[in-house]
Structure 1
């Protein structure tokens, strides 16, 4: 099944706190694989405050984020093996809240965070945090389906 990808881009870093999250909708067998979405992370709220925990089985809920997520990933069906990874020149962390719980990670691949595994259908709020309060690191979020 072909993927439907809808992007809402952020024009400037100063708009990040007020912007709606960038929305992406995918189904199994989406293309291109990996799908890449650019973003600007960080904020002034502790990530652990947003998700209600300081750590998950996948890692710590570290850094600072905005109240609104950076992205909302809508999965139209179950994915047996999906990988989300952030690539940035700066040290970031990844926070995901969706069906079945909360997942956080730091340093999945070097300083870049990532989450891999089976994913239920539904909406996932995604934040990319900065370790410095009110700092806005640029990043690329890569969404890859292992086929």
Structure 2
């Protein structure tokens, strides 16, 4: 970062409330938040950017960020959180944690970044970057409606069991990677990433349909206890879909392509 972080900024575990009931902004402050947190909003400030590319977290992430998080968020209970940047430059935002990787460039307007995410409990790293030159920023966190029901965001992970809500659950991302899907069996087609796009934790036996809609010819690989599911065009319009019964355990989901990379939306719904 372009400015030195103060000792109090690095050690701050919470943004403390001022006399007005609003959270006092601290440089590079950290947060502990859960559903219904107060005060709302909470804020922190800092300097955008750093020496590393945001795309180290995925091709959907843009700009230059620091090698270490600008802020951390300890989420104590699932909540819908809006993270908004107000800066003097063209800002970007990256949030990395148990619910997945969330990235944005201009959704906040005026070249600033904003992310609406459903965050599950755990530790999240927050990076505020820039596309051009460094600038000062204020980061505001507020509880809100979050994304559309069931939307976990880019490269989201899922924990599901019979009767899960909301249904469907949704994740997004960019297809493909540098690995041939046939690595996992001759019935698997397309190019996929070397690491899963999504992780699926099943808590009780459930029958699921995983369906992709995309801007390309997508393929799908699902790996887990006792199974490797692969598909190319069962979702229609060159998109992939699989239906199967899933018993408790950990599963990996890869969304690939047969031609060029494209953006995708993955929907996971229960079938009976």
Q: Compute the TM-score of the two structures, normalised by the length of structure 1.
A: 0.77
d(CA) in 1 for partners of 2:193, 2:160: 24
d(CA) in 1 for partners of 2:235, 2:254: 18
Structure showing greater Rg: 2
d(CA) in 2 for partners of 1:29, 1:7: 20
d(CA) in 2 for partners of 1:116, 1:28: 15
Deviation at 1:22, TM superposition (A): 3.5
Instruction: Give structure 1 stretches of 5+ with no counterpart.
Output: 13-20, 56-60
3-state SS in 2 of match to 1:9:
strand
d(CA) in 2 for partners of 1:100, 1:143: 20
Matches within 5 A, 1:27-42: 27-42=161-176
3-state SS in 2 of match to 1:48:
helix
Answer yes or no: is 1:44 the counterpart of 2:178: yes
Answer yes or no: is 1:11 the counterpart of 2:103: yes
Over the aligned positions, Cα root-mean-square deviation in angstroms equals: 2.0
3-state SS in 2 of match to 1:82:
strand
Equivalent pair of 2:200/2:251 in contact (CA under 8 Å): yes
d(CA) in 2 for partners of 1:124, 1:46: 19
Q: Describe the superposition over 1:3-45 as per-residue Cα deviations: whole angstroms up to 9, x where unpaired.
A: x896212437xxxxxxxx6321112211111111112121111
Instruction: Give structure 2 stretches of 5+ with no counterpart.
Output: 1-77, 80-97, 105-154
d(CA) in 2 for partners of 1:47, 1:100: 18
Equivalent residues, number: 126
Q: Compute the TM-score of the two structures, normalised by the length of structure 2.
A: 0.43
3-state SS in 1 of match to 2:159:
strand
